[in-house]
Amino acid sequence: MKFGRKMLMLAVLCAGLLSGCSGSGESEVVCLDSLEKEYVIDRIDPDQVFVLSEYRNDVRLTTLEGDVIPAQVEQRDEKEVIAAPEAGYQKDTVYVLELNQSKLENEAIKDAKKLYFSVDAIENKELKITDCNLEDAILTNSGKSYIRDLSFDLVNSELKIYKEVDHFSSVQITVDNKTYEYQDGILPVQPKDGTHVVDFRMEYGNQQFEYSCNLNFKTATLAELYGQEDLLEIGKTMFAENYEKLYGLAYGAIFDVDETQMIDVNGQPFALAADPEIQTAEGFEDFYYSIYSKKYPMVDIRMHQQNGKVYFPVASGIGGPMIRSIEVVDIQKSTEDEVWYTVRATDLIGGSQDHTYSLVLEVGEWKFGVIDIPFMQYVPYD
């Protein structure tokens, strides 16, 4: 998630022979173009092929006039692809790829039956950007901007191509007079809400483009940013992968200690942390906030600080909670930077109890916020 962004279909509106690519008739029709001898359905780049899903598709490749071209299906990098014919694709020829069972990777065209493309569509011809297109606002959150579904109109005398910003290379974006590298749909800046003039500098093939767009930036809730389904999956994965670490951290039981440097704390043996990076209070705080959000103060942890050094219990042997299972089951609420989940713990006799934990999106990184689960909390005693 990258963050749940859905790819838009890259439509190609063609003149002349491609004027029939309108989606009318019994079959959906999608127009494509190419750069060289092989093609890919969900993006248009050099040296690519039509990539099929794990399900085999019956395919038929013809010219627009009906001449049948052998369509060779082969395995590449554990994917089924349709390679270019041995003789290559001919210029000034429009080809039609038909799929009897279209189960393609791109959700936007999974039901398409006919795919039109032409080798000569943009090869060796200068393209110009004439417009940028964005239906929704650019969503911003926690110091970053998430640019989705932004495309550009590339035009020559014969063809109009819609290109998502991800399909360009070496993309630089200037906003509020500062220039940033654009990668994976994320811009490392969060302007104020509202419309900003954004300058793009990018490459496509061997051509360079500069273009300015008026784009609307909007601070989003996490639900808007990710969608409920993806947000729930993030919560489940984060909790499952870090549950044992969080449980052990509360009781100071995940750290190696140097038993040659021990102290007595209320009759209990504690030893200096073995890792030099967490032997000091400052070092331990840095470690703690690599897991937890700075939005909240540090929770109680079974540890002891003395003379600026950090000590943990020796052989604490905390065991595990008396439960059969624990899992995230739903989302309670979300704000611009935090989402709260319901965690259901099932005991050994089948009873269950619901608890709460939260995640905070902190400068583009997920950190733990509140963990309101009694057996995952250390309660100091005198």
- How far is the C-alpha of 55 from the C-alpha of 151, rounded, in Å? 30
Q: Where in the sequence is the domain holding 111, given as residue range(s)?
A: 12-118
Residue 230 lies in a domain: no
Task: Tell me, yes or no, whether 157 lies in a domain.
Answer: no
The pLDDT-based confidence of 21 (bands split at 50, 70, 90) is very low
Count of helix runs (H) and strand runs (E) in the chain: 3, 27
Give the model's pLDDT for residue 40: 32
Residue 193 lies inside a defined structural domain of this protein: yes
Q: What is the mean pLDDT of residues 319-342?
A: 88
Q: What is the pLDDT of residues 264-286, one digit of tens each?
A: 998 889 999 999 999 999 999 99
User: Do 279 and 244 reside in the same domain of the chain?
Assistant: yes
Non-local CB neighbours of 380 within 8 Å, separated by 6+ positions: 300, 302
Q: Are residues 211 and 282 in the same domain?
A: no
- Please compute the mean of the pLDDT values over residues 8-26 and round it to a whole number: 30
| b/e sequence 87-125, b meaning 16+ C-beta within 10 Å | eebeeebbbbbbbeebebebebbeebbbbbbbbbbbeee
Mean pLDDT of 173-200: 91
Same domain, residue pair 248 and 328: yes
CATH for 200? 2.60.40
pLDDT tens, position by position, 27-42: 333 334 332 333 333 3
Q: Each residue of 75-84: pLDDT tens digit?
A: 656 555 666 6
**Same domain (yes/no): 264, 373:** yes
Q: Same structural domain for residues 361 and 251?
A: yes
The pLDDT score that the predictor gives to residue 362 is: 86
User: Would the CA dihedral through 72, 10, 95, 39 be positive or negative?
Assistant: negative
User: Within this chain, do residues 203 and 307 fall inside the same structural domain, yes or no?
Assistant: no
Judging by beta carbons within 10 Å of its beta carbon (0-12, 13-18, 19+), is residue 130 exposed, middle or buried?
exposed
In a domain, 282, yes or no: yes
Of 5-14, 110-119, 137-146, 211-220, the range with the highest mean pLDDT is 211-220
Question: What is the tally of structural domains in the chain?
Answer: 3
Residue position matching structure tokens 């703690």: 288
Question: Tokens standing for 96?
Answer: 């039609």
251 versus 236: the higher-pLDDT residue is 236
192 and 321 fall within a common domain:
no
Which pLDDT value is given to residue 156? Answer: 65
Is residue 328 in a domain?
Answer: yes
Task: Say if residue 73 is in the same domain as residue 17.
Answer: yes
Q: How far apart are CA 42 and CA 50, in angstroms?
A: 8
Tell me: do 250 and 214 sit in the same domain.
no
Residues 79 and 88 sit within 8 Å (Cβ to Cβ): no
**Which string of DSSP letters, residue by residue, matches 291-305?**
TB-TTSPPPP-S-EE
Nearest Cα neighbor of 312 from 379, 381, 257 is 257
Q: Which residue do the tokens 């449980």 mark?
A: 247
Q: Are residues 190 and 108 in the same domain?
A: no
Alpha helix ranges (H) inside the chain = 222-226, 228-250, 281-288
Can you give the pLDDT at residue 135?
76
- More confident position, 337 or 38: 337
User: What span, in angstroms and rounded, lies between the C-alpha atoms of 122 and 159?
Assistant: 7
Model pTM above 0.75: no
Do residue 41 and residue 83 come from a single domain? yes
Residue 356: pLDDT band with limits 50, 70, 90: very high
